[in-house]
């Protein structure tokens, strides 16, 4: 499961879990501090803002050369470029500072944050266990109408599977980034699976955009999206050489966020290969 539908709006599961964890943390903190009429909601909001800001700055700093050509894209957080450990350090720093300044907050903060972390970890672990991380067996076709199979296309290479449609604005914005990566990253197989459109529609869009892509497939029933638990476009899936899902991205990819994901994919693929060799 990659998304949760709130009415007609698909919400990334990671964002949903974070919101639930924040609510749990705020509720437990308020319960523990009720004797002193102390709540931690404001502190949690400050922790969240600090985490997002520092995590973004750390990510941009790490991939600055990639952002250099388009500096305004540093501000576009829709690409999902955040450095987790930096955000956690920033959030912890805010919690420690606020607790040090006001003793009444310390106990509610400790209990609230601990409850939020446990809630997030429990839900994330349960969802991860339910997820099918193997390469989906979904019937696909090429633009020429021939049958295609993702496992056969992978051929023992790590693979990036992009779910897209021509009517989807973020799909169109990220497509040149993925097209450039397909030409540069010869050790990774890129596959572009159109969701729910006819071959003529997909081909018209690719021709109009002068996008010379290999491995463009059609999924007329949008079954692949349902198989991986995503109701959002674009969705990008990263599989290692053994066909195991190691990372995902919902929404538009920038050159920096894609480079970060590919770096992680290579690391996980190398680790899996070494483990299989030693076994």
Q: Say whether pLDDT at 108 is over 70.
A: yes
Mean pLDDT of 98-111: 94
pLDDT at residue 105 tops 90: yes
Among 7-16, 123-132, 232-241, 264-273, whose mean pLDDT is lowest? 264-273
Residue 97 is predicted with a pLDDT of 96
Residue 124: what pLDDT? 87
Give residue 9's pLDDT band: very low, low, confident or very high (50, 70, 90).
confident
What pLDDT does residue 274 have?
A: 54
Binned at pLDDT 50, 70 and 90, residue 134 comes out as confident
Q: How far apart are CA 135 and CA 242, in angstroms?
A: 9
Provide the token pair at 251. 């929404």
pTM value is: 0.89
pLDDT tens-digit profile of 188-212?
999 999 999 999 999 999 999 999 9
Query: Which sequence spans correspond to the domains of the chain?
Result: 3-130, 140-278
Q: Which CATH class is domain 140-278?
A: alpha beta
Looking at every residue in the chain, the average pLDDT score rounds to 91
Look at residue 275 in the predicted model and tell me its pLDDT.
53
pLDDT band for position 5 (cuts 50, 70, 90): confident
User: Tens digit of pLDDT for each residue in 36-65?
Assistant: 777 899 999 999 999 999 999 999 999 999
| 17-30 confidence digits (pLDDT tens) | 999 999 999 999 99
């Amino acid at each position: 499961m990659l998304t949760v539908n709130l009415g007609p709006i698909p919400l990334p599961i990671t964002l949903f879990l974070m919101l639930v964890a924040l609510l749990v943390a705020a509720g437990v903190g308020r319960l523990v501090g009720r004797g002193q009429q102390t709540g931690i909601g404001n502190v949690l909001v400050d922790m969240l803002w600090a985490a997002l800001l520092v995590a973004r700055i750390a990510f941009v700093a790490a991939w600055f050369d990639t952002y250099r050509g388009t500096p305004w894209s540093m501000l576009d957080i829709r690409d999902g470029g955040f450095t987790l450990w930096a955000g956690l350090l920033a959030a912890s720093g805010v919690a420690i500072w606020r607790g040090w300044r006001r003793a009444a907050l310390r106990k509610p903060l400790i209990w609230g944050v601990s409850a939020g972390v446990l809630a997030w970890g429990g839900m994330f672990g349960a969802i991860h266990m339910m997820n099918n991380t193997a390469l989906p067996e979904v019937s696909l076709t090429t633009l020429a109408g021939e049958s295609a199979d993702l496992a056969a296309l992978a051929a023992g290479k790590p693979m990036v599977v992009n779910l897209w449609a021509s009517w989807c604005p973020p799909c169109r914005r990220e497509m040149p980034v993925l097209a450039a990566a397909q030409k540069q990253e010869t050790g990774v197989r890129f596959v572009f699976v159109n969701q729910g459109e006819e071959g003529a529609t997909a081909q018209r869009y690719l021709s109009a955009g002068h996008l010379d892509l290999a491995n463009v497939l059609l999924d007329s029933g949008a079954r692949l999206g349902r198989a991986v638990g995503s109701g959002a476009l674009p969705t990008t899936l990263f599989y290692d050489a053994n066909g195991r899902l190691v990372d995902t991205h919902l929404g538009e990819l920038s050159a920096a966020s894609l480079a970060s994901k590919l770096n992680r994919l290579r690391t996980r693929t190398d680790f899996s290969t070494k483990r299989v060799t030693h076994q």
